[in-house]
Amino acid sequence: MADFSQLTERQKDIYHFIRIKIETRGYGPTVREIGDGFQIKSPNGVMCHLKALEKKGFISREGRSARAIKLVDHRPPAQGLPYFGKVAAGAPIPVSEQGERLEIDQIFSGLNRFVLQVRGNSMIDSHIQDGDFVVIQKQEVAANGERVVAMIDNEVTLKRFYKEKDHVRLEPENAAMSAIIVHPNQDPQVLGVLVGVIRRC
């Protein structure tokens, strides 16, 4: 269990800032965001706080990017919803209340996963609509045909991935839209693979 008495007040504030970013958007803040949030002008000043948090066992880092910051021994509290059993999508079936709660985060939880909200309609034929939340497994490689979040020139998109002879093809799931052809000089990067979709009706 983390012992917050080890931390200075500033370190506690920065830890909570990191935690909120990870819980609300799926990855940590950048050094610049921390600096702006706490009026720390020097990136080295921010790095000193991050190194202290890492040394004291509150965070781990596997690189310099925001996505490299992980919380150690922290799991956000799950609220859960009442689980009422199954519902037929064909012939009706008897209802039987289960008397338990289903922890939604346990369905999609896993190491190195994050959530993004979809903007646009390029994946509607894959039943992913504008406003849906997608759960992404963080990884840098993907098999042909997998739905991935890819980054091109610092912009991200959700598409079906195909690696071809001299380029990568990012295929939308919308017959009205064309594929994105990404050549090696554009430095395409896979950020993760789709593992789930959450929709609010």
Catalytically active residues, by annotation: 122, 159
E strands, 50-179, in order: 59-61, 69-71, 81-83, 100-102, 113-117, 133-138, 147-152, 155-163, 168-171
The rounded distance, in Å, linking the Cα atoms of 134 and 194 is: 7
The rounded distance, in Å, linking the Cα atoms of 41 and 136 is: 33
Bridge partners, residue 151, by sequence: 156, 189
3-state secondary structure of 168: strand
Task: Extract the tokens encoding 189.
Answer: 């990067």
Asked if 147 contacts 159 with a C-beta cutoff of 8 angstroms, the reply is: yes
Chain centroid to Cα 177, Å, comes to 25
E strands, 30-146, in order: 59-61, 69-71, 81-83, 100-102, 113-117, 133-138
Asked if 136 contacts 193 with a C-beta cutoff of 8 angstroms, the reply is: yes
